[in-house]
């Protein structure tokens, strides 16, 4: 384990940025933190969470897939991708770091999504332990430990120092290039911090939330539940929960006429949207109840069924904070699961 004084953290950022693009969470508006490309003078946010998740780095909101040149009856196909550059994301929370594994199971399963794969291969993730979890956090529900946040390098802030521990080969490579700035410290330097975090976790209002009532094979149990109606009653059918969610990965593919050709891009889509399943011949999910149900059934039942019991939620709590009508997966789990426990 190594450490650096928090006063010198800018020097650390500068040293990383000299080699590759560095992104850190920074305040971009009152109450809003986002990951931004680091430039000299940029400060890391004090906020726990960025308002968008970190999935953008690997699965951006819009991304060009292919360009077409059309002339008369002829079509030329152009792969618009340029070489992906190496980059570092600094300050990813444990929940977001875990979300990458959930996305990997979708995008890196056969047939591999090479757009995602390229970015994944070039990104190094430095996580940051959550010294002050929020009331909306429930990552522990899904077995995530914000005191040991994972990633390629894990970091902790404690008493004026930033502690760093490499987890993967990528992480070791990153830190070995920065050794001039970092001082060695005992392996147990962050034990007190870990203990403090785990102590707070026990006191969180959602500490007792469990996913035990859910998982693969529960489709029949919950699909026709009467409760979906009242749960979805106030749903606006917007995409806020989907778009701030680190694990939602549905996308749409659209064409855009640039005036010089056609650009085919993909963009985030939401199963909460009324046109998500709309076809020329009709729509199998006619009301918001069915769309709402799909989103939660997917995270709590369908995804685990296909992925060795792993849930499609990391408990980051963004939907809890951002839903315009305060309806979220916590409420769904509590309401559907209450007969169970």
Partner 1 sequence: MQEAMKKRAKELLASGEVTRVIGWKKNEFDYDITPAVFESAEEIDRDFRYDDFCGPNLSKFTFKNQKNDTKTLVFLKPCDTYSMTQLITEHRVNRDALYLIGIPCFGKIDIEKIRADGTDGILSIASEGADVTVKTLYGDKTYVKADVMAERCLACKSKYHTIYDELMGEEGEVMETGRFNEVEKLEAMTPDERFGFWRGELSRCIRCNACRNACPACTCESCVFDNPDTGISQKAAADSFEENMFHIIRAFHVAGRCTDCGECSRVCPQHIPLHLLNRKFIRDIDKLYGEYQAGEEVGQRSPLVNFTTDDAEPDIVRKGGK
Partner 2 sequence: MNAETLIPKVGVVTEVRIDTPDIKNFRVVGTDGKKLFVHKPGQCAMISLPGIGEGMFSITSSPTNTEYMEFEIKKCGCLTSWLHKIEAGQEITVRGPYGNGFPVDDAFVGRDLLIIAGGVGLAPVRSVINYCRHFRDRYGKIDIVYGSRTKEDLAFYEEILHEWMSPEEKDVHVHLTIDREEEGWNGHVGFVPNYVKELAFDTDKTVIMCGPPIMIKFTLAGLKELGFDEKQIYTTMELRMKCGVGKCGRCNIGSKYVCKDGPVFRMDELSELPDEY
Q: Answer for the pair 330, 339: CB distance below 8 angstroms, yes or no.
A: no
Q: Does 273 contact partner 2 by CB under 8 A?
A: no
**Smaller CB distance to partner 2: residue 14 or 250?**
250
| Residue 144: Cβ within 10 Å count | 21
Contact status: 80 vs partner 1 (CB under 8 A): no
Q: Using CB under 8 A, which of the segments 76-84, 131-139, 189-197, 233-241 binds partner 2? A: 76-84
In the chain, DSSP finds a helix count (H) and a strand count (E) of 12, 12
> What DSSP character marks residue 299?
I
Whole-number Cα distances in Å, 336 to 199, 325, 327, 329 = 29, 19, 13, 10
According to DSSP, residue 179 is labeled G
Give the residue among 205, 232, 203 at the shortest CA–CA distance from 335: 232
**311 touches, from partner 2, partner 1, none (C-beta below 5 to 8 Å by class):** none
Contact between 75 and partner 2 by CB under 8 A: the answer reads yes
Residue 267 contacts partner 1 per CB under 8 A: yes
Mark the segment that binds partner 1 (CB under 8 A) among 22-30, 91-99, 162-170, 178-186: 22-30
- Tokens, residue 271: 């199963």
Give the residue, chosen from 119, 122, 266, 318, that forms a contact with partner 2 under the rule CB under 8 A.
266
Q: Does 281 bind partner 2 (CB under 8 A)?
A: yes
Sign of CA dihedral 207, 94, 136, 156: positive
114 binds, among partner 2, partner 1, none (CB under 5 to 8 A by kind): partner 2
* Residues between 268 and 327 that touch partner 1 (CB under 8 A): 268-270, 273-275, 278, 320-322, 324-327
171: partner contacted, choices partner 2, partner 1, none (Cβ within 5-8 A by kind): none
CA 11 remoteness from chain centre? 28
Q: Are 198 and 94 in contact (CB under 8 A)?
A: no
Count the site residues for partner 2 by CB under 8 A.
48
Nearest distance in Å: CB 72, partner 2: 9
Q: How far apart are CA 96 and CA 21, in angstroms?
A: 19
Q: Does 254 bind partner 1 (CB under 8 A)?
A: yes
Residue closer to partner 1, measured from CB, 124 or 242: 242
Beta pairing, strands 87-92 & 62-71 = unpaired
Give Cα separations from 26 to 31, 46, 311, 318 (angstroms).
11, 8, 29, 17
Indicate the residue among 314 and 327 with the shorter CB distance to partner 1: 327
Site string for partner 1, 202-241 (x = CB under 8 A): -xxxx-----------------------x--xx-xxxxx-
Residue 214 touches which of partner 1, partner 2, none (Cβ within 5-8 Å per kind): none
């Amino acid at each position: 384990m190594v450490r650096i004084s928090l006063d010198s953290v800018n020097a650390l950022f500068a040293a990383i940025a000299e080699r590759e693009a560095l992104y850190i969470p920074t305040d971009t508006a009152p109450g809003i933190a986002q990951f931004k490309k680091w430039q000299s003078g940029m400060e890391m946010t004090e906020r726990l969470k960025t308002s968008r998740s970190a999935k953008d780095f690997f699965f951006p909101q819009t991304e060009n897939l292919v360009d077409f040149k059309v002339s008369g009856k002829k079509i030329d196909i152009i792969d618009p991708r340029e070489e992906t550059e190496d980059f570092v994301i600094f300050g990813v929370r444990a929940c977001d770091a875990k979300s990458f594994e959930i996305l990997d199971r979708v995008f890196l399963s056969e047939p591999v999504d090479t757009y995602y794969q390229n970015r994944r291969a070039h990104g190094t993730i430095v996580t940051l332990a959550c010294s002050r979890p929020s009331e909306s956090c429930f990552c522990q529900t899904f077995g995530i430990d914000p005191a040991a946040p994972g990633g390629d390098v894990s970091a902790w802030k404690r008493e004026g120092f930033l502690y760093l521990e490499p987890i993967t080969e990528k992480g070791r490579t990153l830190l070995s290039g920065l050794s001039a700035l970092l001082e060695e410290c005992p392996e147990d330097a962050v034990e007190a911090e870990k203990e403090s975090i785990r102590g707070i976790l026990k006191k969180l209002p959602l500490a007792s939330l469990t996913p035990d009532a859910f998982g693969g094979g529960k489709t029949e149990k919950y699909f026709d539940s009467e409760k979906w109606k009242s749960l979805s009653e106030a749903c606006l059918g917007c995409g806020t929960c989907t778009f701030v969610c680190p694990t939602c990965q549905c996308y749409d593919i659209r064409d855009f006429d640039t005036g010089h050709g056609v650009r085919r891009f993909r963009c985030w889509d939401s199963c909460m949207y009324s046109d998500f399943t709309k076809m020329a011949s009709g729509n199998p999910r006619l009301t918001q109840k069915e769309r709402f149900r799909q989103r939660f059934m997917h995270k709590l039942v369908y995804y685990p069924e296909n992925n060795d019991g792993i849930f499609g939620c990391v408990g980051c709590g963004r939907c809890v904070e951002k839903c315009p009508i305060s309806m979220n997966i916590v409420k769904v789990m509590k309401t559907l699961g209450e007969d169970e426990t």
